[in-house]
Amino acid sequence: MTGDLQSRVYQHRNGLIAGFTKTYGIKTLVYFEEHENAASAIHREKRLKKWPRVWKINLVRTDNPDWKDLAADWYPPDLTPELIENWVARIAQEGATGR
């Protein structure tokens, strides 16, 4: 349960929170629910944790049959050495041409 889903997903994706997701390398958000208040969210989370795995899988498949990452476009792409080099080269060329 969180009041800031984007921050929580970021923390999990970057291994900033110890626990299940870090241990097993879970980095994809395939399902979430919004609730009116913390009490109802906590109650729902506790109920879901008691469900058999197949029920949870069916719950995800109902809203997200392709298991797409629902947070795929929330963050900029990771800067790889190749992206940095391409950026530096582009900036250098723009400087040389006076753009």
Nearest in space to 29 (alpha carbons), one of 48, 4, 56, 10: 10
Token representation of residue 57: 């899988």
How many domains, in total, are found in the chain?
1
Name the burial class of residue 9, with classes exposed (0-12), middle (13-18) and buried (19+) by CB atoms within 10 angstroms of its CB.
buried
For 84, the enclosing helix (H) or strand (E) is helix 81-97
In tens, the pLDDT along 36-90 reads 999 999 999 999 999 999 999 999 999 999 999 999 988 877 777 888 888 888 8
**Spatial distance between the Cα atoms of 84 and 60, rounded to a whole number of angstroms:** 37
pTM for this entry: 0.72
* Structural domain span for residue 9: 5-97
